[in-house]
């Protein structure tokens, strides 16, 4: 499903159309112009049906883009970079740079797409009050957006419902990797059900619909299987901090301008935190989030010490602490990063939530 045409950006997020999307556009146009519109609004010229069908196909593709943009916007809200949105044969995907670090974030990001489709279904449903062909078109778009929302809420990973399920399993079980394995297995089961239903449709004579369900089943099974394989292995949360911590961490002078901080460090590691030291004493912590609260035009005259997280709000851990205890400390302090100090109080590394979550 890779490749396609880059058509521009929305809110800084690149949008790409895969060549397979042409199949959907053709199917929608033919279905609407050949059957739905003549039945729902008879008496119009055939050319009008075809032009309206083509327009409705464009609105349908726009509905899928709306769905994926909802995912992207909430990912950006949680400081997860969105690489691009790609629309393809089976809908679309908002490609994010990394998975969420908290179950609640994954839950909200996953639900955002179906919720946005439900909003569109309601809007188009209201527009069915229009007379004639426009009302019929809006009625079809309302139903298709409702179907899109319901389908994506099925608990088949990596559908949105499968990601909601993983978020719940992660929240109650405490392990991201184990939750991914469990959700992926359920996703494979959903794929098997889709395949069985597709075969049933083919047996009873609905060849095209049966083949379509088989294609969806193959897509779900392959992506769920890939996620399962990627989740294998990893550490237990009883492992020590030094197994996942980041070494050779630079110490930041509080007098350093934000412009230099960004140039030297943040531009290369925006998801990391950097300890701030003065007179060989830890006095704070700085991340991209603190810098971005200041307008960029003021970065040259704003110092790190003016925006850093102060020492009293920072949690610290030791290299020998287990990861479960470290994660508990981060949760209590509502922080994502912790300096790692040895027995003498010397900085030996940095621990961040993402490394604990994705390696255990």
pLDDT tens digits along 95-108: 888 889 899 999 99
Tell me, yes or no, whether 141 and 171 share the same domain.
yes
Three-class secondary structure of residue 292 per DSSP = coil
Edge-first strand order for the sheet with 82-88 is 5-10, 13-17, 82-88, 91-96
The predicted pLDDT at position 152 comes to 92
Domain hosting residue 336, numbered range: 241-359
**Is residue 12 situated within a structural domain?**
yes
User: For the chain, what percent of residues have pLDDT higher than 70?
Assistant: 99
Tell me, yes or no, whether 213 and 274 share the same domain.
no
Task: Place 185 in a pLDDT band, splitting at 50, 70 and 90.
Answer: very high
Round to whole Å and give the CA distance between 29 and 57: 6
**Is residue 292 situated within a structural domain?**
yes
Tell me, yes or no, whether 214 and 261 share the same domain.
no
The predicted pLDDT at position 11 comes to 82
**Is residue 57 situated within a structural domain?**
yes
**Is residue 73 situated within a structural domain?**
yes
Tell me, yes or no, whether 156 and 248 share the same domain.
no
**Is 2's pLDDT higher than 70?**
no
Tell me, yes or no, whether 210 and 267 share the same domain.
no
Task: Place 4 in a pLDDT band, splitting at 50, 70 and 90.
Answer: confident
Q: What is the DSSP letter of 94?
A: E
How large is the greatest C-alpha to C-alpha distance in the chain, in angstroms?
Answer: 86
Task: Place 3 in a pLDDT band, splitting at 50, 70 and 90.
Answer: low
**Is 32's pLDDT higher than 60?**
yes
End position of a domain, from candidates 231, 265, 292: 231
**Is residue 77 situated within a structural domain?**
yes
**Is residue 337 situated within a structural domain?**
yes
Tell me, yes or no, whether 98 and 76 share the same domain.
yes
Tell me, yes or no, whether 300 and 321 share the same domain.
yes
End position of a domain, from candidates 176, 203, 231: 231
**Is residue 236 situated within a structural domain?**
no
Tell me, yes or no, whether 37 and 141 share the same domain.
yes
Tell me, yes or no, whether 191 and 260 share the same domain.
no
End position of a domain, from candidates 200, 231, 262: 231
Tell me, yes or no, whether 221 and 329 share the same domain.
no
Task: Place 235 in a pLDDT band, splitting at 50, 70 and 90.
Answer: confident
**In the chain, how many domains are there?**
2
**Is residue 254 situated within a structural domain?**
yes
The predicted pLDDT at position 21 comes to 86
Tell me, yes or no, whether 74 and 210 share the same domain.
yes
CATH of the domain at 276: 3.10.580.10
CB-count burial class (<10 Å; 0-12, 13-18, 19+) for 160: buried
The predicted pLDDT at position 300 comes to 93
Round to whole Å and give the CA distance between 134 and 274: 57
pTM: 0.84
Residue 178 has φ and ψ, to the nearest 5°, of -65, -40
Tell me, yes or no, whether 248 and 199 share the same domain.
no
**Is 210's pLDDT higher than 90?**
no
The predicted pLDDT at position 88 comes to 85
Round to whole Å and give the CA distance between 35 and 111: 33
């Amino acid at each position: 499903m890779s490749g396609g045409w880059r058509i521009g950006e929305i809110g800084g997020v690149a949008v790409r159309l895969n060549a397979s999307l042409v199949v959907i556009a053709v199917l929608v146009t033919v279905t609407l112009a050949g059957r739905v519109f003549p039945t729902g609004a008879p008496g119009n010229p055939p050319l009008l049906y075809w032009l309206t069908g083509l327009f409705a196909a464009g609105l349908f593709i726009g509905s899928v883009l709306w769905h994926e943009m909802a995912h992207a916007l909430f990912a950006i809200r949680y400081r997860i970079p969105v690489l691009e949105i790609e629309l393809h044969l089976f809908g679309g995907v908002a490609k994010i740079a990394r998975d969420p670090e908290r179950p609640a974030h994954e839950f909200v990001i996953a639900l955002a797409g179906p919720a946005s489709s439900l909003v569109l279904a309601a809007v188009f449903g209201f527009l069915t009050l229009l007379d004639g062909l426009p009302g019929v078109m809006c009625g079809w778009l309302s139903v298709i957006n409702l179907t899109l929302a319901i389908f994506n809420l099925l608990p088949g990973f990596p559908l949105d419902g499968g990601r909601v399920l993983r978020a719940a399993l992660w929240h109650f079980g405490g392990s991201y990797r184990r939750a991914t394995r469990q959700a992926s297995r359920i996703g494979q089961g959903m794929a098997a059900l889709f395949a069985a239903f597709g075969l049933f449709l083919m047996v009873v004579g609905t060849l095209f619909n049966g083949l379509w369900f088989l294609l969806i089943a193959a897509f779900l099974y392959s992506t769920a299987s890939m996620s399962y394989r990627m989740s294998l292995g990893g550490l237990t949360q009883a492992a020590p901090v030094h197994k996942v911590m980041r070494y050779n961490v630079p110490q930041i002078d509080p007098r350093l301008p934000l412009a230099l901080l960004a140039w030297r460090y943040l531009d290369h590691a925006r998801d990391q935190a950097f300890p701030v030291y003065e007179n060989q004493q830890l006095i704070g912590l700085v991340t991209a989030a603190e810098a971005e609260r200041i307008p960029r035009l003021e970065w040259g005259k704003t110092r790190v010490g003016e925006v850093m997280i102060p020492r009293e709000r920072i949690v610290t851990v030791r290299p020998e602490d287990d990861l479960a205890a470290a994660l508990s400390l981060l949760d209590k302090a509502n922080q994502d990063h912790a300096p790692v100090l040895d027995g003498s109080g010397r900085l030996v590394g940095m621990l961040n939530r993402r490394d604990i979550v994705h390696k255990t």
